[in-house]
Amino acid sequence: MKTVSTAADLRNAVSAWREKGQRIALVPTMGALHAGHLALVDQARRAAGKVVVSLFVNPKQFGPGEDFERYPRDLEADAEKLREAGADLLFAPPVAEMYPPGFATTVHVAGVSEGMEGARRPGHFDGVATVVARLLGLVLPDVAVFGQKDAQQCAVVMRLAADLGLPVEIRVVPTVRESDGLALSSRNAYLTPEERKAAPALFRALLAAQLVHELGERKAAKVLKVFRLAIETEPRLVLDAVDLVDAVTMRPVETIDRPVLLAAAVKLGRTRLIDNLVFGG
């Protein structure tokens, strides 16, 4: 696996493959890689002959007071994991390469980006859409792979690709979990041992809500109530946000009569964790 840090080197490597007729897959990441990311690389390998992984902690998607500064960074360890996972090229640019002097574009995907996490983290999805658009423009991949754990991000990227007519297939890979159900996340590294023990209560609460729906409950308010009560069983978890929305439009639903996304964020000490389930329909 080769590592490059400039847009020019990235383009050269990718064009050489394309001239040979290779299909190319892109896995955008912010590093601090775990098995969830490696599942994305695995999916990318199945989808294309060459796999490019980008590693860039994107300042544009962090709000003031968020964890941009303390976001875990270990390029060498990440490169080693990607080499073992069979990636072909690692693109790890500095900020000035992603956003060179004069960079003036912001991509705003209306609708799907505006509720839920978009409302609570103003500017977050503009930052995501801008960096993803730039990465898609640099690599021009046949396939780009994202994780279901960031469900709203997936909806934003799909809308972006569809609206701009980008010739890329967006693939979404199911969330990878620890054996106790905790969704893998780079931010799990912040948890103390006690917080780590409490963290799977988030997934259990999502499952409880899904179960009550599967047993016949169609009213969103009732399903949300079951979720909230289940969260309260673990005093360390502080519910930050929960949404029950149409799985495609990300608009709130009152009745579960189509596939819905139940997405939640909790605080455990200083750490904010998110998770979600799709069910119904």
Footprint of ligand PAF on this chain (CB under 6 A)?
A: 28-30, 58, 61, 128, 131-132, 150, 153
The verdict on whether 37 is a catalytic residue reads yes
Nearer to ligand PAF, 77 or 238 (CB): 77
In angstroms, what is the minimal distance from the CB of 23 to ligand PAF? 21
Structure tokens at 119: 């409302």
Based on its alpha-carbon atoms, the radius of gyration of the chain, rounded to whole angstroms, reads 19
In angstroms, what is the minimal distance from the CB of 4 to ligand PAF? 17
In angstroms, what is the minimal distance from the CB of 61 to ligand PAF? 6
Number of CB atoms found within 10 A of residue 76's CB: 8
Among 268, 264, 275, 273, smallest CA distance to 192 is for 268
Q: Which residue is nearest to ligand PAF (CB)?
A: 28
In angstroms, what is the minimal distance from the CB of 124 to ligand PAF? 9
- Sheet containing strand 89-91, strands side by side: 2-4, 89-91, 50-55, 24-29, 143-147, 169-173
In angstroms, what is the minimal distance from the CB of 18 to ligand PAF? 22
Nearer to ligand PAF, 37 or 50 (CB): 37
Nearer to ligand PAF, 29 or 175 (CB): 29
In angstroms, what is the minimal distance from the CB of 251 to ligand PAF? 22
Among 184, 106, 91, 101, smallest CA distance to 141 is for 91
Nearer to ligand PAF, 146 or 203 (CB): 146
Nearer to ligand PAF, 148 or 210 (CB): 148
Pair 277, 206: CB distance under 8 Å: yes
- Catalytic position from the list 34, 37, 124, 213: 37
In degrees to the nearest 10, what's the CA dihedral of 281, 232, 190, 86?
A: -20
Nearer to ligand PAF, 107 or 132 (CB): 132
Q: Which residues are catalytic?
A: 37
